[in-house]
Amino acid sequence: MKKRLFIPGPVDVAPDVLARMATPMIGHRTNDASVLQKSIHDKMQKLLYTENRIMLSTSSGSGFMEGAIRSCTRKRAAVFSVGAFGNRWFKMAEANGVPADKFEVEWGTPTTPAQVEEVLATGKYDLITVTHNETSTGVMNPVEEIAEVMKKYPDVIWCLDAVSSAAGSKIEVDKLGVDVCITSTQKALGLPPGLAICSFSKKAYEATKEVKNRGLYFDMQEIYDTIDKKNHQYPSTPSLSHMYALDYQLDKIMLEGLDNRFNRHSEMAKYVRAWADKYFELQPEEKYASNTLTNVKNTREISVAALNKALGMRGMVVSNGYGKMKDVTFRIAHMAETTLPEIKNLLENIEDILGL
Ligand SMILES: *Cc1c(COP(=O)(O)O)cnc(C)c1O
């Protein structure tokens, strides 16, 4: 049976969007390919509230996370981690020989502006990475407050992992001063996995010129330059199928209206949080709780596997806790095209199964 996915990616894809993946192929060096790239570029700029260049990569979001930290760290990177994906960014730095230090907090708590200030005041770092929405803990970091600190450090490059929040939560890239804002298709954007997307500032581009070993496939400078030199094309063959689907999905997102879309996500989030409070406990402090997924403390010590088995028979699935949080928490995603009635139905089924 097809299960309705309430997991934080991949998400269910609307049938008409999925159908766009079957668009007949074109050459990737044709004018049609340039027009497609440019169309996505302009719509993604609107979605991320930025004038910065939009770049795509045929990889999942991790590709651009690795590319950004490697291509833009001149001196040393400060990796702020609030969970599994922050830790992964640090591993990427290590694996690429990029000098970096990790500043990790207790899972379930955020990166605070005070922490960023303290770290940057040392003068040791010229790049920071922050996770906007930590999918392993359900924490959404206070990026507006962090942005205030960043204003004092205009030479520091700011990389933001917005993989599980972009298109589900408002991220005003230019207002925040984010240099590299990274997302991928299979979460709040509501597409199949396979494409990474980022906005990339001129400042980040200038930084790449001071970095010698940027690798090749994820060399952000090379991708940036090729968009100029080859009129909105890429160094290697991109997933044109994803690009067709993304271009179409962005039209649908604009038709829904950005504010409507973000409000729909926060309404679902509020509902799930209230439910979590009533029957279990919310893991992060309410103020830092994510708009796209809710991380519930398993205070009743239910078997998440058994719950999912029962839910599966009803055509639904939620997510267990991530990594070391397995069975300690469980996660309910409310992103992409998910609606409040679907969320209500899911929660009623969970109540029924657990006898709450
Ligand atoms: C899913 C996720 C990633 C990894 O993205 P991929 O597209 O799977 O590479 C990174 N960061 C966060 C916060 C995520 O949720």
- Mutate which of 184, 239, 242 for ligand 1? The one with the most ligand atoms within 8 Å of its CB, which is 184
254, 279, 307: which is the final residue of a domain?
Answer: 254
Nearest atom in ligand 1 to 196's CA: 7
Does 48 share its domain with 121?
yes
Same domain assignment for residues 141 and 276: no
Indicate which CATH number applies to the domain containing 137.
3.40.640.10
pLDDT digits (tens, 9 = 90+) for 228-273: 999 999 999 999 999 999 999 999 999 999 999 999 999 999 999 9
pLDDT per residue as tens digits for the range 274-297 = 999 999 999 999 999 999 999 999
Domain boundary residue, one of 193, 227, 254: 254
**Is the CB of residue 164 below 6 angstroms from any atom belonging to ligand 1?**
yes
* 16 within some domain: no
Whether residue 161 has its Cβ less than 6 Å from ligand 1: yes
Burial 272-292 (b: 16+ CB within 10 A, else e): bbebbeebbebbbeeebbbbb
* Domain span holding position 292: 4-9+258-354
pTM to 2 decimals?
Answer: 0.98
| pLDDT reading at 1 higher than 80 | no
Q: What is the CATH number of the domain that holds 310?
A: 3.90.1150.10
Q: Return the DSSP state at 131.
A: E
Tokens 């700029």: give the residue. Answer: 45
Q: Are residues 221 and 291 in the same domain?
A: no
- Whether 246 and 270 share a structural domain: no
Q: Which of 216, 202, 227, 185 is nearest to 55 (CA)?
A: 227
> What tens digit of pLDDT does each residue of 187-226 get?
999 999 999 999 999 999 999 999 999 999 999 999 999 9
Q: How many residues does the chain have?
A: 356
Q: How many Cβ atoms sit within 10 Å of the Cβ of residue 62?
A: 19
For residues 84 and 134, state if they share a domain.
yes
- Determine if ligand 1 sits within 6 Å of the CB of residue 136: no
Q: Which two tokens stand for residue 261?
A: 């879309």
DSSP-assigned letter for residue 169? B
Tell me if 50 CB under 6 Å of ligand 1.
Answer: no
Rounded CA-CA distance 85/88 in Å is 5
Q: How confident is the model at residue 102 (pLDDT cuts 50, 70, 90)?
A: very high
For residue 34, the model assigns a pLDDT of 98
Half-sphere exposure of 327 (CA within 13 A, CB side): 5
Q: Which residues contact 209 (CB under 8 A, 6 or more apart)?
A: 221
- DSSP letters spanning 74-108: SS-EEEEESSHHHHHHHHHHHHTT--EEEEE--TT
> DSSP code of 25?
P
Q: Is residue 142 in some structural domain?
A: yes
CA distance 71 to 65: 10
